Amino acid sequence: MAHGPQKVRFGGDCEGFLHLPRDEAPAGAVVVLHERYGLVQHTLDLAQRLAEDGHVALAPDLFSRWQGDREALKRGEARVVLPDPEVAAVIDAALDFTKAHPRVAPRRLALMGVCQSGRYPIVVGSRRRDLAACAVFYGASQTRDWNVSELQPQPMREMMRRLAAPALFVFGERDHTISLADVRRTRDALEEGRCSYRMKVFRDMPHGWLNDTMPGRYRAREAGEAWDMLLRFLAEVFSGTWPGTGQVRWEFEGASSADYDFSKNARLQ
């Protein structure tokens, strides 16, 4: 069992929860970013599971400075949209805090984003060179993530092409926010940039199927498979066995129904 979470402050006014593994030896670390609902139980559960699997895990509150209705946010009735530079500053502080922790092994730092926060491993990873890995669960590929705006000043394609760390991408075929065409666009951008990636599209999976606090979306068997995939990826990257010295590796696996029609993908509760 891992140690219980500790509430921590970093970067001045930023907050989060730190989860430590039971083993006292230096370990790899993962900064786990929350979904659109804020820092809710699901994200804390993911961080706790990472700690139980032997990692130091920090779950920062990306909306620490937001003064809106938190309960409405948890219910999905409110949405926080902040400028990329503002969110990236919080993530930078979280990464620096984690990297400096005495329980974290050198050069074994990963950044994981889920849903709305899936774009931020790309935003941050495109300019930091101290990340060993990035992981994205059903994010960073929606049309809105590729739209350049005042809030999103850097083109997603260009940021993906600048990624230095190998990246894991996990998608669901029945995601109502990310089409298979969006997945191909992401894959193409990574290959154009000669970025190592491992990517899988899980057949019949809706958006958010890792989240066991949302019964309409959660799929236990596939969530377990995806979690095992994440752990294998982290183990291989942290150990230096993947992608391998001087290599760029592209690993794609996907399954889709013969009658796939993105317009029929529905939002589940």
Specify whether domain 6-256 bears CATH 3.40.50.1820.
yes
In the structure, what pLDDT confidence band is assigned to residue 66 with cuts at 50, 70 and 90? confident
Is a pLDDT exceeding 70 seen at residue 1?
Answer: no
Q: Reply yes or no: is the peptide bond before residue 102 cis, omega within 30 of 0.
A: no
Kind and range of the H or E element at 197?
strand 197-202
Please tell me the distance from the alpha carbon of residue 196 to that of residue 190, in angstroms, as a whole number: 7
Shortest CA distance to 174 belongs to which of 262, 74, 237, 108? 262
In the structure, what pLDDT confidence band is assigned to residue 67 with cuts at 50, 70 and 90? confident
Is a pLDDT exceeding 80 seen at residue 2?
Answer: no
Q: Give the three-state DSSP class for 34.
A: coil
- For 67-189, list the strands marked E by DSSP: 104-114, 133-137, 167-172
Q: By the 8 A CB rule, do 86 and 66 touch?
A: no
Q: By the 8 A CB rule, do 51 and 57 touch?
A: yes
Per-residue model confidence as pLDDT tens digits over 222-268: 999 999 999 999 999 999 999 999 999 999 999 999 999 999 999 99
Per-residue model confidence as pLDDT tens digits over 22-36: 999 999 999 999 999
Q: DSSP states of 201-228 as a string? A: EETT--TTTT-TT-TTT--HHHHHHHHH
Please tell me the distance from the alpha carbon of residue 140 to that of residue 147, in angstroms, as a whole number: 11
pTM over 0.75: yes
Q: By the 8 A CB rule, do 117 and 152 touch?
A: no
